[in-house]
Structure 1
Amino acid sequence: MTLVCAAPTSAVSDNATAKLPGTRAVVTANAWHCNVYADKCSFKTSTKVRKGKNPFKASKVSNVATVKANGWQATLSLAPSGTRVSENTRSISWTNTNTWISDISGVADPGGSINTSITTCSDGGAFKSGTKVFASACANG
């Protein structure tokens, strides 16, 4: 049984920002996953670059999603599969060029422990005109 969150009130989320030097643009890293699940849990991460309320085109925008199952002898599988960091942690990365956003989404399937929770982290970066910046956010729960 998969329980997917339909509204932000039923999600765990975090975000962080950093200024892209020399551009007045702000890079935001977002991490989100469902708060309540019976078997599997949806997750999403993104990196967005904005100048005020408007999208700001950067040379490169990257996002690394790291999902971890927490708990005694916890295990984790993801769809898409990602790179295995450890038995309970997977990582997926994506980089876009000449745009303002890079995002990743999928489904986490934790196992191996009765009291398993999920942590979803988003490490975002942007590059424009020789300058770069990074922001990191982690949703725990």
Structure 2
Amino acid sequence: MKTKTARSRFLKGAASAAALSAGLLIAAPSAHATSSSGTWNIPGGNKMSVNAWHCGAFVNACDWKASTKMTGSNPKKAQWIKNVADLQAHGISVSIKISKNPEASLTMVSKSLGRVTWKNTKTWISDTSGQMRPSKLTTYVSTKSCGSAQLTSKIKFSTKCVYAGAA
């Protein structure tokens, strides 16, 4: 009888745990991202894309990515291609800490706005990524991504920007 009672308690406990887990999954907010992209035709037949992305919901940290990409084969590689990402915390008396990939540079424009810059040479892409750690009073974060490039001595892609975040 002890075996049957122990097994019965185990099954009841397992059923309760499963029900609790299912309830948490249903009640948990969905993690969605906030993003923006733009694509422009450039002389020679190539296209340039500028992209911005960051997490849609966060507690302590929020991953982010920004890029400028060239597609096409005329030329296959740019002389240089650049991405500048402005990462900002919004709210009352907010601040932000930012991590980024090692080759990019970070300039803190203010305590709530950081600018990450990466100029890549002889390639088709300049992409950066990292993590934002906004202060507790932050209501939302935003990512503004701006791209530019010098494809050949005669073909230049002037700065174009996209914005991901609340308006």
TM-score, normalization by structure 2: 0.71
Q: Which residue matches 1:71?
A: 91
Q: Is it true that 1:116 corresponds to 2:139 in the alignment?
A: yes
Q: Is it true that 1:127 corresponds to 2:150 in the alignment?
A: yes
Opposite residue 117 of structure 1, the aligned amino acid is Y
Q: Which residue matches 1:89?
A: 113
Match of 1:16 among 38, 42, 66: 38
Residue pair 1:49, 1:100 contacting (<8 A) in 2 also: yes
Q: Which residue matches 1:6?
A: none
- Structure 1 residues 6-36: Cα deviation after superposition (integer angstroms, max 9, x where no partner): xxx721000112222x321111100000011
- Structure 1 residues 20-58: Cα deviation after superposition (integer angstroms, max 9, x where no partner): 2x3211111000000111110000000000128xx9321
Paired-residue identity, % = 33
5+ residue gaps in structure 1? 1-8
Greater per-residue strand proportion:
1
Q: Matches of 1:51 and 1:65 in 2, distance apart?
A: 24
Q: Matches of 1:70 and 1:94 in 2, distance apart?
A: 24
5+ residue gaps in structure 2? 1-30
Please give the root-mean-square deviation of Cα atoms over the aligned residues, in Å: 2.1
Q: Matches of 1:77 and 1:103 in 2, distance apart?
A: 19
Q: Which residue matches 1:138?
A: 163
Q: How many residues align?
A: 130
Opposite residue 25 of structure 1, the aligned amino acid is N
Opposite residue 35 of structure 1, the aligned amino acid is G
Bigger relative contact order, structure 1 or 2 (CA pairs below 8 A, ≥6 apart)? 1
Secondary structure in 1 matching 2:52: strand
